[in-house]
Structure 1
């Protein structure tokens, strides 16, 4: 029996023709149906990106290249894990862009790429682990530190893999949240708009959680712990029995108001017998004046209280008056005041004032104006009282700042010229990258002088990356001395390390900067940032550790009569002992 074939009308599509009932396809199957839901995507358990893994391996290896300071195994592990995560994110983004422009790659191409990575990555990682161990050992020798055990490399690898895995899991959970949010939004907006909106929503929520939960709680926790720390008293610190120290008998400043660091400062004065033995002549009892956060209501009231305390103790009758701008917690390295007290056989008056109880990093990131306002208030009050004295009877007025304290000093005067004229001498140790005067002097240095040891011929300002350089200065004495260790990350950190090779890695390098260090975009910035974490835990003269180097700084600025280089060496040995 012949079947009658009915031709489809012109213009009908194949999809419409397929919906016509036929003996082989029942009417129910041919009826219009809703589009099938999209297949479920595996996000958290999805396979790794081949381009991401490749770039992660490159970044991982580069993280073992040396920087300014050696790193402990756990810090190196965290650095390597985070650096590899940054490389994976960049590589995955490049791969996604390539697929968008080119389309999906052939499965065989992907398998070949994985095979190549499997062959190359293990060899490359082993080589850089070996090189990294050698670089760290050489860097420790260069800085005079003890070598670490060879098995630390295994712990480093473990810490790096754990860090990378945690960051990858967090990233995929955020991606899963974005996908879920997009599925909800697809009901009301087109697919592309849904994914854009989902990405934006998750990004805002993640940033809010990071800022409000992590950062805010971190600052709150640090503030609470620092407040508790500030209310305590260090071991062996007792109320002074001398009337020449704040917190002691007849003092205008209450002992309990000094704070932990203020109490340590006034109680750390050397004994008269010790000063006499070193000087070889009878010594005086030194004067130390300090005002804590609760010593008075405002900064200017605390500064005025310090001046009154100086008048009470007879500070302006001494040979030297030194105004010290402390770090964030109010801490003052006791080698700084002791170096002056030993040099002048106790004929000194050292004064300072607390402006915060937070560590310098948090004080710097939180509100930098606090140290600037405090330094301006104290230095201004002391200088005003000092300027009222006849020129021939004034004591030497010296200024000192370390780290964040240097920033406060520079902001007080504003320009290099005013800093030079502000006192008889100013000693600044480890200036921060934000210091405006330091930056102006560095940029205006004499042609040919390196950035780590610049020469500035127009003003009596001296820079030194090694304190011993200050012992044989030619010409008039400087009025301002900067001590900046060539391996101090606090000095050399800057935002432009992200995209620009620093000048201290161009041309001649400082003696303690390893020649194996090279600049890599983003990675060097991250390494120097991590160097700051333990920059104080290195020998004197390296990192952010200055300690007894202040002796050479004071000797260059304002030595007592008859002071010699041998005396500086002897005093440094005493302070470091």
Structure 2
């Protein structure tokens, strides 16, 4: 639109004419909307004041304690990602506020920056000091050595590096959105162009993340796990005994057992060790295992295990234990050894591999594998076991740890069927996805805490500390859950994002620090990071159970004459 020409009245000086306002133009008068900021401004633009403020707050809260202590580099990554989350949230809120109250916010921006400059450094220093103290106290609470105080400097460096990388990635995505919008502005209005550009970049970023990063990560892990599975652990040799799978006369080839299977069958204590502990003559234990390549299908592998049990005379022993392993097929050797020492070798322990991936990837990839494998093996062993005379058949015990507990629960489906499924079931570190565990926990007796629930309707016992199983009164339980109060595998859940967990409400378990508090989003992220090193803590904390199985077996099915003193002595032997 042409600017109207204002006629100058006769005799008016030009200085006065220059002060006459020209008619305003509406945005619709422009041929095109204002151009968006250029790429240089996107890359080099300063920080958002609201984003910086919320990033500083999130950064400080990331140093608050969670269930387990964190190494300096993990704390640095946690702090950097948490600060980036806060910055993204604050920047988005600031952009929305500027659109609604632009002029007012522009006038207050300098005041806000001045306030941040005065408050943030003091706040960060305070939380760095508190974080160091919290981590030290948490390590002492869990029986771990304190870390050097100079680790805090490395933590800060790692956090700044993490935050900077994430900010650079975010601005690269903004720059990509800007480029797409320039192309789309040729055919659609500016706002529509930016919406389309944002959608295109979001789809491409998700595709790259899911199709390239995640898919390649699973592929790489799968390849590395397959290579690892084909190897043999240090000091592991082919057994000379006929009572082990992979040994003489075995139906299972040694090479088919996989790395964890070979370690399992080779880890049996000697008869001399068993006799010395028991104070009486012992016999050689039986260990049976089938690897992924021992047979073509799950059913065939389970049937092969039962054939091995018949070959070795497993059904003539005092105890048979069916063990559902973790993702790689791993069985913590203290689990079978504890039962073998208790019964002086009069045992038969059987297990079967269903994957060579670590539990996390097996859990996230396809949980049906562990459920199908547990069902196949337990069903095959029980089908043979129930045909034996009730008066003379061995005790049938079931064991699962971590992902293995999920497979056990899915095999039976309900708490009642799990109780009736065997003479005893020991489950260590159940996952958040376990349906039976959730049913029992939600239906617990009034007044009992979530970390140590009571369920009087069934012979089921929970313990956050294995030692408390020694003081039980009344009939023996048929099912025992060991769930450490600081085990993130047990207490992680999606609703930590928006809801304060019950294990932080009211009376807390002794291991949970009183300095821990719930913050939306942040606590979820902290517990998620706790999963990374949940096994790197002393026994009885985190996801580390090990010799605690002694108290679990003693509560379920102790041999005649077994005492608490024997449990203490055996745990000391296994931990030595």
State the TM-score, normalizing by the size of structure 2.
0.95
Counterpart residue number, 1:363: 362
Counterpart residue number, 1:201: 200
Counterpart residue number, 2:173: 174
1:540 has 2:549 as partner: no
Q: Partner of 2:427: helix, strand, or coil?
A: strand
Counterpart residue number, 2:249: 250
- Gap regions ≥5 residues in structure 1: 1-12, 25-31
Counterpart residue number, 1:126: 125
1:381-420 CA distance string (max 9 Å, x none): 0000000111111100000000000000000000000000
Q: Partner of 1:215: helix, strand, or coil?
A: helix
Give me the whole-angstrom Cα distance separating, in 2, the residues matched to 1:461 and 1:39: 65
Q: CA deviation at 1:103?
A: 2.0
Counterpart residue number, 1:28: none
1:17 has 2:16 as partner: no
Q: CA deviation at 1:430?
A: 0.1
Give me the whole-angstrom Cα distance separating, in 2, the residues matched to 1:571 and 1:35: 82
Counterpart residue number, 2:20: none
Q: Partner of 1:534: helix, strand, or coil?
A: coil
1:146-189 CA distance string (max 9 Å, x none): 00000000000000000000000000000000011001100001
Give me the whole-angstrom Cα distance separating, in 2, the residues matched to 1:62 and 1:34: 49
Counterpart residue number, 2:276: 277
Counterpart residue number, 1:228: 227
1:288-329 CA distance string (max 9 Å, x none): 000000000000000000000000000000000000000000
Q: CA deviation at 1:14?
A: 6.9
Q: Partner of 1:60: helix, strand, or coil?
A: helix
Q: CA deviation at 1:330?
A: 0.1
Number of aligned positions between the proteins = 555
Q: CA deviation at 1:105?
A: 3.8
Counterpart residue number, 2:18: none
Give me the whole-angstrom Cα distance separating, in 1, the residues matched to 2:402 and 2:221: 20
Give me the whole-angstrom Cα distance separating, in 1, the residues matched to 2:315 and 2:31: 93
Give me the whole-angstrom Cα distance separating, in 2, the residues matched to 1:362 and 1:438: 22
1:410 has 2:398 as partner: no
Give me the whole-angstrom Cα distance separating, in 2, the residues matched to 1:576 and 1:338: 12
Q: Partner of 1:253: helix, strand, or coil?
A: coil
Give me the whole-angstrom Cα distance separating, in 2, the residues matched to 1:169 and 1:534: 28
Counterpart residue number, 2:25: none
Give me the whole-angstrom Cα distance separating, in 1, the residues matched to 2:535 and 2:256: 28
1:161 has 2:160 as partner: yes
Q: CA deviation at 1:37?
A: 7.5
Residues 106 and 95 of structure 1, relative CA distance in 2, 3 Å threshold:
closer
1:204-259 CA distance string (max 9 Å, x none): 00000000110000000000000000000000000000000000000000000000
State the TM-score, normalizing by the size of structure 1.
0.95
Counterpart residue number, 1:392: 391
Residues 341 and 39 of structure 1, relative CA distance in 2, 3 Å threshold:
closer
1:69 has 2:68 as partner: yes
Q: Partner of 1:533: helix, strand, or coil?
A: coil
Give me the whole-angstrom Cα distance separating, in 2, the residues matched to 1:47 and 1:380: 64
Give me the whole-angstrom Cα distance separating, in 2, the residues matched to 1:36 and 1:305: 74
Counterpart residue number, 1:347: 346
1:19-66 CA distance string (max 9 Å, x none): 9xxxx9xxxxxxx99769737531011011000000000000000000
Give me the whole-angstrom Cα distance separating, in 1, the residues matched to 2:549 and 2:462: 13
Q: CA deviation at 1:15?
A: 1.4
Matches within 5 A, 1:179-328: 179-328=178-327
Give me the whole-angstrom Cα distance separating, in 2, the residues matched to 1:34 and 1:102: 26
Give me the whole-angstrom Cα distance separating, in 1, the residues matched to 2:574 and 2:184: 68
Residues 397 and 36 of structure 1, relative CA distance in 2, 3 Å threshold:
closer
Residues 34 and 396 of structure 1, relative CA distance in 2, 3 Å threshold:
closer
1:435 has 2:423 as partner: no
Structure 2 contact 98–105 (Cα < 8 Å) conserved: no
Q: CA deviation at 1:102?
A: 1.1
Counterpart residue number, 1:495: 494
Q: CA deviation at 1:107?
A: 4.4
Match of 1:38 among 35, 47, 50: 35
Give me the whole-angstrom Cα distance separating, in 2, the residues matched to 1:95 and 1:346: 69
Counterpart residue number, 2:19: none
Give me the whole-angstrom Cα distance separating, in 2, the residues matched to 1:546 and 1:523: 27
Give me the whole-angstrom Cα distance separating, in 2, the residues matched to 1:90 and 1:537: 33
Give me the whole-angstrom Cα distance separating, in 2, the residues matched to 1:428 and 1:411: 13
Q: Partner of 1:393: helix, strand, or coil?
A: coil
Give me the whole-angstrom Cα distance separating, in 1, the residues matched to 2:105 and 2:224: 57
Q: CA deviation at 1:263?
A: 0.1
Structure 2 contact 318–347 (Cα < 8 Å) conserved: yes
1:456-501 CA distance string (max 9 Å, x none): 0000000000000000110000000000000000000000000000
Give me the whole-angstrom Cα distance separating, in 2, the residues matched to 1:405 and 1:537: 20
Give me the whole-angstrom Cα distance separating, in 2, the residues matched to 1:64 and 1:104: 36
Q: CA deviation at 1:104?
A: 3.7
Structure 2 contact 256–292 (Cα < 8 Å) conserved: yes
1:316-368 CA distance string (max 9 Å, x none): 00000000000000000000000000000000000000000000000000000
Give me the whole-angstrom Cα distance separating, in 1, the residues matched to 2:418 and 2:3: 84
Q: CA deviation at 1:109?
A: 1.6
Give me the whole-angstrom Cα distance separating, in 2, the residues matched to 1:563 and 1:381: 31
Structure 2 contact 252–290 (Cα < 8 Å) conserved: yes
Residues 36 and 300 of structure 1, relative CA distance in 2, 3 Å threshold:
closer
Residues 474 and 113 of structure 1, relative CA distance in 2, 3 Å threshold:
same
Give me the whole-angstrom Cα distance separating, in 2, the residues matched to 1:106 and 1:77: 33
Counterpart residue number, 1:135: 134
Give me the whole-angstrom Cα distance separating, in 1, the residues matched to 2:561 and 2:128: 54
Give me the whole-angstrom Cα distance separating, in 2, the residues matched to 1:537 and 1:35: 61
Structure 2 contact 33–190 (Cα < 8 Å) conserved: no
1:440-463 CA distance string (max 9 Å, x none): 000000000000000000000000
Q: CA deviation at 1:96?
A: 0.4
Counterpart residue number, 1:152: 151
